[in-house]
Amino acid sequence: MKSRIRIHDKEFEIFLTEEQIEKRVSELADEINRDYQNKKPLFISILNGSFIFSADLFRQLNIEAEICFIKLVSYKGMKSSGKVTTSIGLEEDIYDREVIILEDIVDTGRTLHEFIPKLLHQQPRSIKIAALLHKAEVTEFPVHPDYVGFTIPDKFVVGYGLDYDGLGRNLKAIFQVTT
Ligand code: IMP
C-alpha cells in the first residue's frame, strides 16, 4: 500500500491503515452486539460516505438487526456547503424502534443536527450515532456520537468510503491531506 497519494490537486499521506480500521470496526461491532441484544435495532446508514463502514460493521453483527440507507448532502470539494439536502429519504417506519445512525464522519455536526429532529418526529424509542471518525475539535453543533471509531484532528481525509470531489472512496486505508 502506498503511503502517499495524489487526488485531483492535493497530496495525501497515510493516516489510518486498513488493519487499524478493521480492528476498530470489529471493536465497535462487539460493543453494539453487547448493547443491542434482543433490541432488533434499525441502522440508518447515511450515503454516500458511510457505505463501506456500514457494510463492514453490519457484517460483524451477530444480533437481529435491520439496515436502510438515506442520502444527505452537505459537502462540495473540501468544504461543507452549509446546506443539508436530502436526495434519498427514509421509507422505513421508525416509530418505537431502536435506531442507530451510521456516519462516516462527524465534522461540524450540521448534517446530523438537521437530520435528527426529523427522525424524532416519528417517535423512535431511541437514537444513537455510530461514527467511524469524529473531528471533535471542530464539531460546532450539539451532536455527540455514542460510538466513535477514531477522534481525529481537523484535516481533510479520504478513503474507506470518504471522497475528495468524487474520488478516493475505494482506498482501503484513510489518508490525510498534507497541503
Ligand atoms: P458535517 O455535517 O460537517 O458533520 O459533515 C458531515 C459530512 O461531511 C460527512 O458525512 C462527510 O460526507 C463530509 N465530510 C466531512 N469531513 C470530511 C473529510 O475530511 N473528508 C471527506 N468528507 C468529509
Residue 75 has pLDDT above 60, yes or no: no
Distance 38 CA to ligand 1 centre (A): 32
Residue 115 is predicted with a pLDDT of 92
Residues lining ligand 1, CB < 6 A?
49, 74-75, 80, 103-111, 156-157, 162
Instruction: Using alpha carbons only, give the angle 114, 168, 5 rounded to the nearest 5 degrees.
Output: 130
Q: Which atom of ligand 1 is nearest to the CA of 155?
A: 19
Question: How many Cβ atoms from other residues are within 10 Å of residue 136's Cβ?
Answer: 16
pLDDT, averaged across the chain? 93
Distance 179 CA to ligand 1 centre (A): 18
Distance 76 CA to ligand 1 centre (A): 10
If pLDDT is split at 50, 70 and 90, which confidence band does 92 have?
Answer: confident
Provide mean pLDDT across the span 73-102: 79
- State the DSSP string of the chain: --SEEEETTEEEEEEE-HHHHHHHHHHHHHHHHHHTTTT--EEEEEETTTHHHHHHHHHT--S--EEEEEEEEEEETTEEEEEEEEEE---S--TT-EEEEEEEEESSSHHHHHHHHHHHTT--SEEEEEEEEE-GGG--SS---SEEEEE--SS-EEBTTB-BTTB-TT-SSEEEE--
Residue 84 is predicted with a pLDDT of 74
Kindly state the percentage of the chain with pLDDT values over 90.
86
Domain ranges of the chain: 18-153
CA-nearest residue for atom 5, ligand 1, is: 107
If pLDDT is split at 50, 70 and 90, which confidence band does 72 have?
Answer: confident
Residue 82 is predicted with a pLDDT of 67
CA-nearest residue for atom 3, ligand 1, is: 108
18-153 belongs to CATH 3.40.50.2020: yes
Hey, which of 46, 52, 79, 104 would you mutate to test ligand 1's pocket, going by the most ligand atoms within 8 Å of its Cβ?
104
Distances in Å between the Cα of 9 and the Cα atoms of 59, 85, 131 are: 35, 27, 28
> Where in the sequence numbering do the catalytic residues fall?
107
Question: How many Cβ atoms from other residues are within 10 Å of residue 159's Cβ?
Answer: 25
